[in-house]
Structure 1
Amino acid sequence: MTSPSFPAGDASPAATWPVPALARRMAAFVYEGVLLFGVLMIAGYLYSSLTQMRHALQGTIGLQLFLFVVLGIYFVWFWSHGGQTVAMKAWHVRLLDAAGRPVSQARAAARYLLSWLWFAPALFAAHAAGLKGGSIFGVMLAGVLAYAALARLNPQRQFWHDMVCGTRLVDVRPARAAA
């Protein structure tokens, strides 16, 4: 079963398209994390092989920057080529601009950078508090849930980084066939 395709010339405003429920968007978020574990594992192995990294604490800044770029390439490419990552396809969610058109690479890159607001405040708070280990996970979970809850304050139920970037997540579930 495939998602319906939308003609490039469709000029209908994206505001008229249904917005996926927050629970579906969060399910896609979690599924994306599971898929990205594999992507980051392969990228980390590639980096450590190419740089001949012999110790886990050697070159961590370089590894972090490399993985940040790998994630950026992953998201920007998928969002600007069809508007859906693998997880978004599974949950029938698509990214469009405010006019209902596919997202440009520049807009996708801006969205990628701003989407780090899911994690940045929680990571900063954990670092400032000197937290270690499992405590960081708890702070991250609370931060992600708080950021997701902010979408309820928006009348269109969009995330903050989508409002700033002029993008929208829309529901693209295929229409059910009449019985």
Structure 2
Amino acid sequence: MTQQPPPTSFTDLPFAGVGKRLAALLYDLLILAGLLMVYGFLAMMVTSVFGGLECRPDQLDYNPCVSGPLLQVGMVLVVAGYYVWSWRGAGQTIGMRAWRLMVASPEGVQLSWKQCAIRALVAPVSLAMFGAGYFWGLTRKDRASWHDLASDSQVRQLPKRGKK
């Protein structure tokens, strides 16, 4: 059995499969849950101190502090910010690092802000359609999902690190 030489560039890496991409997404959901809890706590503190809202925990009524469009927009911005920051900075989210996945342009170049924004807008649609945008990759040789196609990006599988 012959060993293949290690890949020398991003374009030599294999395309990431749907299963690993969904596993990375699940891993990222744990990170996002923590970020949203911190955001929710800070938003509740700010709105109760500066907004004059009165939370009534004795009556189990938190609606004045945890509802409203401002909180919801903030939560969307936290989620989008996590992905855009990760994709733009390192080409990987924490979940993608765990599964050795990387996103970049087809040439292997770091994604632009525009590409990251397009991915962040289309990825929820891919998921909301019962995962159809992700499972679309099963029908393609390059395993591209809807948000990959829309943003002109690719997700590749990084090699395992060799033991020293």
When normalised by structure 1's length, the TM-score is 0.72
Are the counterparts in 1 of residues 103 and 156 from structure 2 also a CA contact under 8 Å? yes
RMSD (CA atoms): 2.4
Match of 1:96 in 2: 104
Counterpart check, 1:149 vs 2:157? no
Comparing both chains, which one has the higher relative contact order based on Cα–Cα distances under 8 Å and sequence gaps of 6 or more?
A: 1
The yes-or-no answer on 1:31 pairing with 2:27 is yes
CA distance in 2, matches of 1:120, 1:30: 15
* Cα pair distance change 1:147/1:56, threshold 3 Å: farther
1:154–1:57 distance in 2 versus 1, CA, 3 Å: farther
Which residue of the partner structure matches residue 20 of structure 1? Answer: 16
Residue 98 of structure 1 aligns to a residue in which SS?
A: coil
Q: Which runs of 5+ in 2 are unaligned?
A: 1-7, 56-60
Q: Verify: 1:48 aligned to 2:44, yes or no.
A: yes
Deviations 1:64-98 (A, max 9, x none): 11010111211111111110111111111011012
Structure 2 counterpart of 1:57? 63
Structure 1 CA distance for aligned equivalents of residues 95 and 147 of structure 2: 19
Larger Rg: 2
Partner-residue secondary structure (3-state), 2:78: helix
Return the letter of the residue paired with 2:147.
H
Counterpart residue number, 1:109: 117
Look up the equivalent residue of 2:150 and give its one-letter code.
V
For 1:62 and 1:119, the matched residues in 2 are separated by: 24
What is the TM-score when the length of structure 2 is the normalising length? 0.78
Deviations, residues 107-154 of structure 1 (Å, cap 9, x unaligned): 111211111113444xxxxxxxxxxxxxxxxxxxxx13x433221122
The CA distance in 2 between the partners of 1:57 and 1:114, in whole Å, is 31
Alignment of 1:1-12 (within 5 A): none
- Give the 3 Å change call, closer, same or farther, for CA 80–41 of structure 1 in structure 2: same
Identity over aligned pairs, percent: 26
The answer to whether the 8 A contact 2:10-2:156 is kept is no
Q: 2: CA distance between counterparts of 1:74 and 1:36?
A: 8
